[in-house]
Amino acid sequence: MENTLTAGSLLAGIRETRLVAIVRGTDGTAAAKAALAAMEEGFRFVEIALTTPNAFEAISAVRATAPADCFVGAGTVLTAQDVDRVAEAGGQFMVTPSLAESIAESARLGLPVLAGALTPSEAYEAMNRGATAVKLFPASIGGPGYLKALRDPFPGIPFIAVGGVGLREATAYWEAGAIAVGLGGPLFGDAGSGGDLAPMRDRARGFVDLAAEFARRSGAEILR
């Protein structure tokens, strides 16, 4: 179970894979199975939302059986108590939907945190509080164009686009400068609530292949 994750290694891994999976459902056991299935299909970073019943048990189950190069975190982490409970459950990184107190608490404990923000002021404040990266949420409000405009004054802030991002939208966010996209419903569907895992696995492979193709194309363009 020993598989440490620092802010630096999380950031490097997310930059490399360009993908973060987000499980949210009505059944903790199903959410754990869905998270592990995503890892088996190539996702290295998966968060389980704390709004999922028995989320802490699900995080523990995934942490105990995840492949060595895969990491499980918690989403919708709002309070300092949430951070403590996630850490006790074995969660390796935190994700917030907003400028919650959990950002500073995660940073204080040395736990990587992807902090939710939408506006320029929120993004700047998230990094001031110790965020590893900013989760642009909900990204669909402004789309890739908004992300590009947001990055102009903040070229050093790593942004992850989350909210309304599907297979057809992902590439545009990467091209706009997102280091990754966060995928919830467009990836998992109802798998986190006990739905069939087979279609989810197909979608997971599609996202992994798309990210790999984008990386190859980007590398080729740099070499020109």
Catalytic residues, by residue number, are 47, 135
Q: What is the spatial distance between Cα 18 and Cα 15, in angstroms, rounded to a whole number?
A: 5
Question: DSSP character for 158?
Answer: -
Q: How many CA atoms lie within 13 A of 136 on its CB side?
A: 31
Q: Dihedrals φ, ψ of 94, to 5°?
A: -115, 150
Q: What is the spatial distance between Cα 175 and Cα 210, in angstroms, rounded to a whole number?
A: 13
The token duo for 117 is 């923000």
Strand-pair category, 94-95 with 180-183:
unpaired
The token duo for 218 is 């980007």
Question: DSSP character for 193?
Answer: G
